[in-house]
Amino acid sequence: MTLSELIDRLGGKLVQGDPEWMVDGVNLAERANPFDVVFADNSATILKALSSKAGVVVLVPGVAGSYPRGKCIVEFDNPRLWFSRAAKLLTPATPSTGVHPKAVVMSDAILGVGVVVEACAVVESGARIGAHTRVEAGAIVGHGVQIGERCRIYPRAVLYPGTTVGDRVIVHAGAVLGADGFGYVRDSATGAYTQFPQQGTLVVEDDVEIGANSTIDRGALAETRIRRGTKIDNLVHVGHNCDIGENVILVALTGISGSSSIGKGAILAGQVGIGDHVKVGPGVMLGGQAGVLSGKTVTNKGLRPGTVLWGTPARPLKQVLREQVMLMRLARLGWRKSSGAETAETETAAAEE
């Protein structure tokens, strides 16, 4: 692809260089060749990018007074974003191979144009798969499951019946979508547990990405919903009846209990724990290992933009750090008092003897 074609697709301003320069891919500055793109978004990386062998460098406007001769320079307000979008455009398309002879596709399943079903994958009765979607080796698409266009279902992913997936969704290896939620009713007389009905649905909207070995349960009687643009890391669990808002980030080992909602644009860092029936407001940022107790609501009301909440129960990070300092001071004070009292008691006993 030529540089001018990339700029037409992605925006930006070519301030130096040949618009017909051929671009093959993106790379690190240290590994780049003349047909690669590199980027720099701060003063620490600009010299490395400009001195690299890369033919194209993407920079923030006005970040450098002059540019080396022979380099193509593109200015864009968010170089990292331009670089990431360019990477998608320059990635070679995976060959379309149709349905593998060792795949199992039921006769009444409906496959769109260009669908790929790899070896040992199973597409069960009544399933519908949109155009140019890939179902890779060993994946299971359950009875009546609906998958949109240009999705990628990686090996060994399992989509249970009752699951609906939008367009351009990525489901990584080993993920399980639409399994029964963890809901039981206890008989107080015998102590035995009976499963509460788990017959709801799971809806995954467009442009969602679900990491390897993550699990998302169907609703109990209603639905679980993952809204447009949300990105879910590996080893994340979302319980039944949850509503995850648009463009939410859920980082590895986060667990969200049933009937909770996460607002648009929220970020939950690694190992965050959310109790059941919790409401996390739009834009809330929960730091690693933060916890929200069942039934609680967490919002940014009264906080400065970008405030990180931390600890259990989750509260502003600065508050937590102040509390920790106070606890340390109290502990030291208590130790000193205890030590002083013990010394005084020892001296008194010696005098009496």
For 128-168, how does the pLDDT look when each residue is reduced to its tens digit (9 = 90+)?
Answer: 999 999 999 999 999 999 999 999 999 999 999 999 999 99
Which whole number is the average pLDDT over 189-195? 98
* Other Cβ atoms within 10 Å of 92 Cβ, number: 7
The amino acid that residue 215 corresponds to is: T
Query: Strands 315-316 and 308-310, how do they pair?
Result: antiparallel
Q: Copy the structure tokens of residue 288.
A: 């690693």
| Active site residue ranges | 240
Peptide bond between residue 305 and the one before it cis (omega within 30 degrees of 0): no
Which whole number is the average pLDDT over 232-237? 98
Confidence of residue 342 (pLDDT cuts 50, 70, 90): low
pLDDT at site 93: 84
What CA–CA distances, in Å, run from 163 to 10, 51, 128, 205?
Answer: 34, 50, 11, 11
- Neighbour-count burial for 293-330, b at 16+ CB within 10 Å, e otherwise: eeebebebeeeeeebbbbbeebebbeebeeeeeeeeee
pLDDT at site 95: 85
Alpha-carbon distance of 171 to 333, in angstroms, equals 54
The H-or-E segment that residue 327 falls in is helix 317-352
Which whole number is the average pLDDT over 173-195? 98
What confidence tens digit (pLDDT) does each residue in 15-35 have?
999 999 999 999 999 999 999
Q: Is 163 helix (H, G, I), strand (E, B) or coil?
A: strand
Query: Residues 6 or more apart from 343 whose CB is under 8 A from it?
Result: none
How much is the mean pLDDT over the chain? 94
Which whole number is the average pLDDT over 232-261? 98
Q: Which residues, in sequence order, are bridge partners of residue 316? A: 309
Q: Copy the structure tokens of residue 45.
A: 């990386």
What confidence tens digit (pLDDT) does each residue in 262-287 have?
999 999 999 999 999 999 999 999 99
- The mean-pLDDT minimum among 86-100, 201-215, 337-351 falls in 337-351
Which whole number is the average pLDDT over 117-131? 98
Long-range contacts of 266-272 (CB under 8 A, 24+ apart): 270/233
pLDDT at site 209: 98
pLDDT at site 9: 97
Query: DSSP letters of 116-159?
Result: EE-TT-EE-TT-EE-TT-EE-TT-EE-TT-EE-TT-EE-TT-EE
Alpha-carbon distance of 15 to 70, in angstroms, equals 12
pLDDT at site 245: 98
Q: With 60 as the cut, is the pLDDT of residue 211 above it?
A: yes
Three state DSSP letters for 21-71? CECCEECCHHHCCCCEEEEECCHHHHHHHHCCCCCEEEECCCCCCCCCCCC
Q: With 70 as the cut, is the pLDDT of residue 71 above it?
A: yes
Confidence of residue 350 (pLDDT cuts 50, 70, 90): very low
Q: Copy the structure tokens of residue 149.
A: 């266009």
pLDDT at site 337: 79
Residue in the block written with tokens 């107080």: 188
Contact (CB, 8 A) for 154 and 136: yes
pLDDT at site 341: 52
Helix 79-90 vs helix 3-10: crossing angle, to nearest 10: 120
The H-or-E segment that residue 16 falls in is strand 13-16
Contact (CB, 8 A) for 155 and 139: yes
Residue in the block written with tokens 């690693």: 288
Q: Phi and psi dihedrals of 47, rounded to 5?
A: -65, -40
Contact (CB, 8 A) for 296 and 275: yes
Confidence of residue 42 (pLDDT cuts 50, 70, 90): confident
Alpha-carbon distance of 316 to 350, in angstroms, equals 52
Alpha-carbon distance of 37 to 3, in angstroms, equals 10
